[in-house]
Structure 1
Amino acid sequence: MNKNVLITGTSTGVGYESAILLAKNGYKVYASMRNTAKANALKEAIEKDNLDIEILELDVTDLNSIQSAVKIIIEKEGKIDVLINNAGAGFAKTTELASEEEIRWVTEVNYHGVVFCTQVVLPYMRKQKSGQIINITSVGGLVGQPFNELYCGAKFAVEGFMEGLATYVGDAFNIKITNIEPGGIATEFMTSAIGKTAVDGKLATGEYEPVFEKYMAGIQKRANESQEQVYQTGIEVAEVVLQVAKNENPPLRVRTSKWAEDFCGLKTQADPDGTKLVQQIKDSFL
């Protein structure tokens, strides 16, 4: 029986590549995005390879939108086997310069959206006694980074939310949870992040400006040095998504490159995939 997958944020990048790759590997994919006017590339890929993908409108910052999309899938399929929380947005700006609207936005997109999508899908997975939730988080969910503190804060929140959830929905309801933690991804995600940073056409202002310019120069240097393999492509991360989806016993955490593994080494060396920690928590509380 084909597995039904709901993926958020599929207009570009990892979501787009994951939708195509999963469909090519026998999954029925519901590819969602906030603005379906951006679905042209995905539509062309569907037609070209005759892929079993349906495009849905879903805004992760709107609970009604999430509920409507999930209802469509349940009415057609009766179940959702895999939820891939991929939708997110980068943000690089010092806390002092960020507006209230920006702080709320980066949290809504990167954290609240994951919580609400999970909340809406969980009852169906619980009733069917099976399911898998895969979250595209980031090394920024484990390691705080300069000028990314608001983004990292939201990703840390996802990591904590999913870590807590994994301690009881796995044994009780056979729902498996994995956080996929890429380093840099060479997609429109980075362009969007930098675009959100601009203040009156500048990347930073005041006393922060020279520090920020140093930070941006470092990003550009790493991007140009491909031999360091800092930045992965969307398809490379999508291949990890597929491996996790096919895994009968997936770990809580997976980094997607050697660079990401090394970058998080101090945080993860005692328990790289999170398995020991989840077991310890279960032993302590359940």
Structure 2
Amino acid sequence: MNMKKNVIITGTSTGVGFEAAILFAKNNFKVYASMRNLDKSEALREKIQKEALDIEILELDVTSLQSIKNAVETVIEKDGRIDLLINNAGAGFAKTTEQASEDEIRWVTEVNYLGVVFCTQTVLPYMRAQRSGQIINVTSVGGLVGQPFNELYCGAKFAVEGFAEGLAAYVSKAFNIKISNIEPGGISTEFMTSAIGKTVVDGQLASGEYLPIFEKYLAANQQRASEDAAQVYQTGLQVAEVILDVAQSENPPMRVRTSSWAEDFCHLKTQADPDGTKLVQTITESFL
């Protein structure tokens, strides 16, 4: 029987998920690194080979419940348990609500919110049966603070925050299943590139009356990036290190920002209860 704790990580082809898979493997976890498109697994396979890492690559598309179930069953067949789920898969999206198509709105919600719900739903019976487990969601400062042109993305991330908070209020104490949200600010990975790329498919991010506002938004973004790159943008590895820290914590926080910039950005929302633990305790006491 494998004595290492095992972890399923979603969205490991690039960025935070990629770095987390490697970091967790180096810290005595058996890692199931999952991704939607196995064609993008080459870089991770090279790392596994080169450093003899205990990582198994799985196909898992968070927008397909059947795909999630197949991946989880594979882990149960091999190890008989799931110790940790890291809901990392997600995608940025910047577009006005008016100009987003129905398909885009459904897609951004599925990838960033429903994927988390379905992955969590699928592992819960196993964690409940073993009376232990941990679920870590990689959300965003956009899960606490709404931002212009990102309202559809932020809406999905806000939903993850509420889902996790409500779930933690009763599964943590009853079944010893710990739940945390990791809230990065800017990350210098392919995430940002794909967020912008996704929105320029039709050649225009915003048009008509929205265009001058959007241009102002982009200019401010670029200026902030060039002036404060060191403070605003973290690497995927820096965020992965925070995730590992939470995974190894005896009493993990309900939520944690990953940088001082992210902390400052969310200060008005979080100052009364920075790590969210008091709130979950209060909710539990109020209802149960």
- Measured against the shorter chain, the TM-score band is over 0.9
Give 1:223 deviation, angstroms.
1.7
Give 1:225 deviation, angstroms.
2.1
Give 1:200 deviation, angstroms.
3.1
Question: Aligned pairs, how many?
Answer: 286
Structure 1 partner of 2:178:
176
Q: Which 10-residue stretch deviates more, 59-68 or 226-235?
A: 226-235
CA distance in 2: counterparts of 1:154 and 1:200, whole angstroms: 23
Correspondence 1:193 to 2:203: no
Correspondence 1:23 to 2:25: yes
CA distance in 1: counterparts of 2:208 and 2:20, whole angstroms: 41
Where does the alignment leave 5 or more consecutive residues of structure 1 unmatched? none
CA distance in 1: counterparts of 2:6 and 2:201, whole angstroms: 42
Structure 1 partner of 2:212:
210
CA distance in 1: counterparts of 2:18 and 2:173, whole angstroms: 32
Out of 165, 168, 187, the position equivalent to 2:167 is 165
Structure 1 partner of 2:253:
251
1:108-143 deviation digits (Å, cap 9, x = unpaired): 000000000000000000000000000000000000
Give 1:201 deviation, angstroms.
1.5
Structure 2 partner of 1:156:
158
Q: CA RMSD in A?
A: 0.9
CA distance in 2: counterparts of 1:23 and 1:199, whole angstroms: 37
SS in 1 for 2:281: helix
Structure 2 partner of 1:237:
239
Structure 2 partner of 1:50:
52
Where does the alignment leave 5 or more consecutive residues of structure 2 unmatched? none
Identity of aligned residues (%): 78
Give 1:241 deviation, angstroms.
0.6
Give 1:99 deviation, angstroms.
0.3
Structure 2 partner of 1:266:
268
SS in 2 for 1:229: helix
Structure 2 partner of 1:36:
38
CA distance in 2: counterparts of 1:199 and 1:26, whole angstroms: 42
CA distance in 1: counterparts of 2:143 and 2:39, whole angstroms: 31
Q: Is the 8 A contact 1:2 1:27 kept in 2?
A: yes
TM-score relative to the length of structure 1: 0.99
Distance 1:208 1:146, change over 3 A: same
Give 1:214 deviation, angstroms.
1.1
Q: Which 10-residue stretch deviates more, 200-209 or 153-162?
A: 200-209
Q: Which amino acid aligns with 2:77?
A: E
Q: Is the 8 A contact 1:252 1:274 kept in 2?
A: yes
Structure 1 partner of 2:113:
111
Q: Is the 8 A contact 1:199 1:205 kept in 2?
A: no
Q: Which 10-residue stretch deviates more, 45-54 or 199-208?
A: 199-208
CA distance in 2: counterparts of 1:188 and 1:227, whole angstroms: 16
CA distance in 2: counterparts of 1:119 and 1:227, whole angstroms: 37
CA distance in 2: counterparts of 1:73 and 1:147, whole angstroms: 39
CA distance in 2: counterparts of 1:212 and 1:25, whole angstroms: 43
SS in 2 for 1:225: helix
CA distance in 2: counterparts of 1:163 and 1:203, whole angstroms: 33
